[in-house]
């Protein structure tokens, strides 16, 4: 039997939990209305106006969202210890502008049924297409090593315009209605996706996709609590192992594929050479070695285009500046 004080405490906790859940529901409702409003307004925008909005709001966000600014600066200072802080601050300021432009471009793409011809006007250059064509001829599928760099939402549509079907594994949003809305919009621009949960189904669908000779894009640049700890940008950090696991299991070719903004404001699709996969009798070690190798490849692109990477993500959680 619970005492009166225990029952009272349990009731208080239940009340707090209910209030938290109600608050979340209200926040999600307002979030959906805000997204709906932006989507409605974007239907009347040209791409040029959407980009202009992105630049203006990105500049403002750098000053008006201090939490994200501090987080991004902390991350970049961990990596570029020898660069002047003012230079790093300029890079992060450009990152805010790029992220905002990326967001507005994505909204525009989601609300306008763009054709392959229109995509080709946005992504004007392709480098390394011969590597992808060669890998695709093997018929075992292609694992694209991707990153939250440049405009990755355009990547699937551009690959489609080149004759390649692609998909990626995506974590579902907590708001199911918003998730359904964005899934429909992503499919309109050739951004197919496999829901991350349940994991067993995601693994099965990914393997089936590769067996059909198609491209599975995996974004390997974010922290994973269930991954392995390997070096990334000079700091050991938990890293997702999906790319290595799928490569070892399916024998699909692995190529880096990123879509970055060029000097003229358009995009270029960069496809790297096929990455040799290490295979030994020690499967766990193979996963570790290949994951570390993939990190180094993605790191190269981030260092080439540092202002187009999403430094806001807490990639090096718990690492202090003097520990690097």
Position 182 scores a pLDDT of: 77
- Does 19 score more than 90 pLDDT? no
Domain boundary among 112, 144, 179: 112
| Rounded average pLDDT over 43-62 | 92
More confident residue, 12 or 237: 237
Q: Decide if 43 contacts 112 (C-beta within 8 A).
A: yes
pTM over 0.85: yes
Cα(50)–Cα(46) distance, integer angstroms: 6
- Give a yes or no: residue 16 inside a domain: yes
Instruction: Clarify whether residues 50 and 81 are in a common domain.
Output: yes
Instruction: Clarify whether residues 106 and 121 are in a common domain.
Output: no
- Does 311 score more than 90 pLDDT? yes
Domain count, the chain: 2
Angle (CA) 70-171-212 rounded to 5° is 130
Beta-carbon count within 10 A of 14 CB: 10
Q: What is the mean pLDDT of the chain?
A: 90
- Give a yes or no: residue 318 inside a domain: no
Task: Find tokens 């994973």 and name the residue.
Answer: 224
DSSP secondary structure letter of residue 307: G
Position 160 scores a pLDDT of: 92
Instruction: Clarify whether residues 192 and 303 are in a common domain.
Output: yes
Position 17 scores a pLDDT of: 61
Instruction: Clarify whether residues 11 and 151 are in a common domain.
Output: no
Percent of the chain predicted with pLDDT > 70? 93
Residue 8: band (very low, low, confident or very high) from pLDDT cuts 50, 70, 90: low
> 147-198, pLDDT tens digit by residue?
999 999 899 989 999 999 999 998 887 778 778 877 777 777 767 899 998 9
Instruction: Clarify whether residues 215 and 99 are in a common domain.
Output: no
Instruction: Clarify whether residues 121 and 105 are in a common domain.
Output: no
Residue 111: band (very low, low, confident or very high) from pLDDT cuts 50, 70, 90: confident
Position 10 scores a pLDDT of: 57
Instruction: Clarify whether residues 81 and 169 are in a common domain.
Output: no
- Does 203 score more than 90 pLDDT? yes
Q: What range defines the domain where residue 102 resides? A: 4-112
Residue 249: band (very low, low, confident or very high) from pLDDT cuts 50, 70, 90: very high
Instruction: Clarify whether residues 77 and 138 are in a common domain.
Output: no
**CATH number where 249 lies:** 3.40.1130.10
| Rounded average pLDDT over 299-318 | 95
CB contact set of 168 (below 8 Å; sequence gap of 6+): 146, 156, 191, 192, 193, 194, 216, 217, 218, 219
Task: Find tokens 């202090």 and name the residue.
Answer: 320
Domain boundary among 112, 145, 169: 112
Percent of the chain predicted with pLDDT > 90? 64
Instruction: Clarify whether residues 58 and 40 are in a common domain.
Output: yes
Residue 289: band (very low, low, confident or very high) from pLDDT cuts 50, 70, 90: very high
- Does 4 score more than 70 pLDDT? no
> 214-231, pLDDT tens digit by residue?
999 999 999 887 889 999
- Give a yes or no: residue 316 inside a domain: no
Enumerate the β-bridge partners of residue 269: 126, 259
Instruction: Clarify whether residues 69 and 188 are in a common domain.
Output: no
If phi > 0 it is left, if psi is from -120 to 50 it is alpha, else beta; for residue 48 that is alpha
CB contact set of 58 (below 8 Å; sequence gap of 6+): 96, 97, 98, 99, 100, 101
- Give a yes or no: residue 323 inside a domain: no
Domain boundary among 90, 112, 134: 112
Beta-carbon count within 10 A of 210 CB: 23
Lowest mean pLDDT among 21-25, 93-97, 116-120, 122-126: 21-25
Bridge-based pairing state of the strands 267-271 and 253-261: antiparallel
Lowest mean pLDDT among 16-25, 149-158, 267-276: 16-25
Instruction: Clarify whether residues 187 and 283 are in a common domain.
Output: yes
């Amino acid at each position: 039997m619970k005492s009166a004080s225990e029952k009272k405490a349990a009731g208080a906790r239940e009340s707090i939990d209910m209030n938290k859940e109600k608050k979340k529901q209200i926040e999600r409702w307002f979030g959906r209305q805000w997204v709906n409003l932006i989507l409605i307004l974007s239907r009347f925008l040209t791409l040029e106006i959407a980009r202009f909005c992105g630049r203006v709001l990105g500049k403002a966000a750098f000053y008006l969202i201090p939490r994200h600014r501090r987080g991004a600066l902390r991350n970049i200072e961990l990596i570029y210890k020898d660069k002047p802080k003012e230079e790093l601050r300029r890079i992060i300021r450009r990152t805010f502008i790029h992220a905002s432009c990326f967001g507005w471009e994505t909204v525009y793409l989601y609300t306008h049924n763009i054709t392959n011809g229109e995509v080709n006007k946005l992504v004007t250059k392709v480098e390394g297409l011969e590597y992808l064509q060669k890998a695709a001829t093997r018929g075992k599928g292609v694992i694209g090593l991707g990153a939250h760099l440049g405009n990755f939402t355009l990547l699937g549509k551009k690959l489609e315009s080149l004759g390649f079907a692609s998909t990626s594994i995506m974590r579902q949003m907590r708001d199911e209605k918003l998730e359904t809305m964005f899934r429909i919009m992503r499919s309109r621009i050739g951004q197919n996706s496999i829901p991350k949960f349940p994991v067993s189904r995601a693994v099965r669908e990914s393997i089936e996709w590769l067996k059909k000779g198609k491209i599975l894009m995996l974004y390997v640049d974010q922290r994973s609590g269930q991954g392995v700890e390997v070096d990334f940008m000079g700091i050991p950090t938990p890293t997702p192992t999906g790319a290595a696991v799928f490569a070892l299991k399916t024998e699909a070719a692995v190529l880096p594929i990123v879509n970055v903004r060029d000097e003229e404001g358009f995009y270029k699709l960069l496809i790297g050479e096929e990455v040799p996969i290490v295979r030994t009798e020690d499967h766990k070690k193979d996963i570790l070695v290949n994951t570390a190798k993939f990190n180094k490849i993605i790191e190269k692109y981030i260092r080439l285009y540092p202002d187009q990477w999403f430094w806001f993500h807490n990639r090096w959680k718990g690492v202090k500046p003097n520990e690097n």
